[in-house]
């Protein structure tokens, strides 16, 4: 069984939806994971934020505008008659439900329910479309088998346990469709895998059923060697190891959800990144294999805060770092980069909700300096210790840019640099020119 995930633009219009059958072969066993139609989740986020702020009239206006788009979508997607009526009923149901939420107490629980409507709509409409053209398929409710725990960690055994009987119940059927992104949390409430989470769904499903491969179909021909939104002339990479892909996804390559590589890596399921608009392009294969001795790609992650703790108590002391890390652990704040000297340690975080409390506690160790608006530039490749020249090449490429932190040697496939976000674009372009051009 294969998992095929189609992102927002791949289902972004009725025309695109109908073209999915150029890629999906209904005779092959597969689970097709769909995102919401592009733009929908952004609109739902906006609607939800109005409702959270009790701006009911504004919210209703946005709901009506989105509803109108879906009315048009149904007319274009489905032939007049029974199927179009079914599609319209689905749209009416979801938008009446959204409108009804405007009249009640609106909390973070309802917020998640609102965000789930996009994937529920896209999958149900696609399922009706397949019926309308006589292609058999089964719609699987992701909320019945996708689950996260109290730490927002996905529960793969739960998925295996609940999905396997569902698949068995429809034995003989090849084409299954389900929602990306959405899941239930440990309270049983509707929740999600964070923005871009449909990639994560696909990889988690791949792991849960030990799929043959996971295909992520998107609007570009694979992982490029730099961010194509910022740098001109980027090129697709044919092979990446799981480790390399995980670093790139985590450090900002938007093509993949930050955590989406890990389940596939753990269960050794190859992941292919493919282009819906150009299905014949080779794309990128992510697997245990990789090309050796090369710089592969560069990515950047914004919204980083650097924290420097300087203390003479650190000199020749042991246990100092543990005590610092414990503070971050207590505030459930992950650390991304870390560099040390004998009397100071610098580290970076991107989750800053508890920054004030963290700094208060860190102050008891020494002086604390905070730098906001930083970006991590991550250069990924195969940099085994026996190889030389990579760090020099990277640093030489950005010698005109102030660098706040450098991390090298943490793994054999990553060199990370922290720069002010105002210098990110120049850093990406300059690295690209000197490394790949
Ligand atoms: P989808 O809606 O299919 O999930 P996304 O917008 O989430 O698609 O991801 C695809 C986009 O990721 C591309 O259009 C591209 O602009 C962006 N992107 C950022 N960095 C990279 C990269 N290194 N390689 C390829 N695409 C990238
Ligand atoms: N629809 C969700 C989002 O826009 C999930 C996804 O597209 O992967 O974030
Ligand atoms: Mg995406």
Q: Where are the domains of the chain?
A: 2-218, 296-435
Nearest CA owner, ligand 1 atom 6: 255
**Best of 181, 218, 258 for a ligand 2 pocket test (most atoms within 8 Å of beta carbon):** 181
DSSP state, residue 36 = P
Closest residue by Cα to residue 97 from 120, 74, 73? 120
Ligand (nearest to CA of 253) = 1
Domain 296-435 bears CATH identifier 3.30.70.20: no
Mean pLDDT of 229-241: 96
- What's the CA-to-centroid distance between 207 and ligand 2, angstroms? 20
Reported as a single tens digit per residue, the pLDDT across 34-51 is: 999 999 999 999 999 999
Question: What predicted TM-score, i.e. pTM, was given to this entire model?
Answer: 0.95
384 is in an annotated binding site: no
Question: For ligand 1, what atom is nearest to the CA of residue 227?
Answer: 20
Cβ of 195 closer than 6 Å to ligand 1, yes or no, is no
Cα–Cα distance for residue pair 336/329, rounded to 1 Å: 13
Reported as a single tens digit per residue, the pLDDT across 112-123 is: 999 999 999 999
2-218: which CATH number, 3.40.50.150, 3.30.110.40, 3.40.1160.10, 3.40.50.300? 3.40.1160.10
Reported as a single tens digit per residue, the pLDDT across 66-95 is: 999 999 999 999 999 999 999 999 999 999
Cβ of 284 closer than 6 Å to ligand 1, yes or no, is no
Other CB atoms closer than 10 Å to residue 161's CB: what's the count? Answer: 12
19 is in an annotated binding site: no
119 is in an annotated binding site: yes
Cβ of 224 closer than 6 Å to ligand 1, yes or no, is yes
pLDDT band (50, 70, 90) for residue 411: confident
Max CA pair span of the chain: 79
Q: What is the pLDDT of residue 410?
A: 86
CB 374 within 8 A of CB 308: no
Ligand 2 pocket, residues with Cβ under 6 angstroms: 7-8, 35-36, 41, 118, 180-181, 195-198
pLDDT band (50, 70, 90) for residue 294: confident
Cα–Cα distance for residue pair 199/274, rounded to 1 Å: 12
Is residue 314 pLDDT above 80, yes or no? no
pLDDT band (50, 70, 90) for residue 316: low
Give the three-class secondary structure for 282. Answer: coil
- What's the CA-to-centroid distance between 255 and ligand 1, angstroms? 3
Nearest CA owner, ligand 1 atom 4: 7
232-246 in b/e form (b: 16+ CB < 10 A) is: eebebbebbbbbbbb
Q: In whole angstroms, what separates CA 227 from the centre of its chain?
A: 15
Question: For ligand 2, what atom is nearest to the CA of residue 181?
Answer: 5
């Amino acid at each position: 069984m294969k998992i095929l995930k189609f992102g927002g633009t791949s289902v972004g219009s009725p025309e695109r939806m109908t073209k999915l059958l150029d890629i999906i072969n209904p005779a092959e066993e597969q689970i097709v994971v769909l995102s919401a139609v592009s733009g929908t989740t952004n609109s739902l986020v906006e609607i939800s934020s109005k409702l959270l702020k009790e701006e009911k009239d504004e919210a209703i206006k946005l709901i009506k505008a989105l509803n109108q788009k879906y009315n048009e979508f149904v007319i274009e997607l489905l032939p007049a008659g029974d199927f179009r009526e079914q599609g319209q009923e689905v749209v009416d149901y979801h938008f009446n439900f959204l409108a009804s939420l405007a009249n009640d107490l609106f909390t973070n629980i309802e917020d998640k329910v609102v965000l789930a409507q996009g994937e529920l709509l896209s999958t149900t409409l696609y399922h009706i479309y397949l019926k309308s053209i006589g292609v058999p398929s089964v719609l699987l409710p992701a909320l019945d088998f996708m689950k996260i725990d109290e730490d927002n960690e996905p529960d793969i055994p739960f998925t295996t346990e609940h999905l396997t009987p569902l698949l068995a119940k429809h034995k003989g059927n090849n084409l299954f469709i389900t929602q990306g992104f959405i899941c239930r949390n440990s309270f049983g409430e509707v929740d999600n895998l964070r923005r871009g989470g449909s990639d994560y769904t696909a990889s988690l499903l791949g792991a849960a059923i030990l799929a043959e491969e996971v295909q992520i179909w998107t609007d570009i021909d694979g992982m490029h060697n730099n961010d194509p939104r910022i740098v001109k002339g980027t090129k697709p990479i044919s092979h990446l190891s799981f480790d390399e892909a995980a670093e790139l996804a985590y450090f900002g390559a938007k093509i993949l959800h930050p955590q989406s590589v890990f389940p596939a890596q753990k269960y050794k399921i190859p992941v292919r990144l493919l282009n819906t608009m150009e299905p014949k392009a080779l794309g990128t294969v992510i697997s245990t294999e990789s090309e050796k001795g090369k710089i592969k790609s560069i990515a950047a992650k914004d919204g980083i805060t650097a924290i420097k703790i300087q203390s003479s108590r650190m000199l020749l002391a042991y246990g100092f770092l543990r005590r610092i890390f414990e503070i971050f652990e207590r505030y459930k704040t992950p650390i991304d980069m870390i560099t040390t000297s004998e009397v100071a340690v610098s580290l970076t975080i991107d989750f800053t909700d508890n920054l004030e409390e963290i700094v208060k506690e860190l102050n008891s160790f020494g002086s604390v300096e905070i730098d906001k608006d930083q970006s991590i530039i991550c250069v990924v490749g195969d940099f085994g210790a026996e190889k030389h020249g990579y760090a020099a090449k990277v640093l030489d490429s950005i010698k005109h840019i102030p660098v706040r932190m450098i991390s090298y040697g943490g793994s054999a496939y990553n060199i990370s640099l922290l720069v002010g976000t105002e210098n990110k674009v120049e850093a990406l372009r300059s690295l690209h020119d000197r490394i790949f051009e």
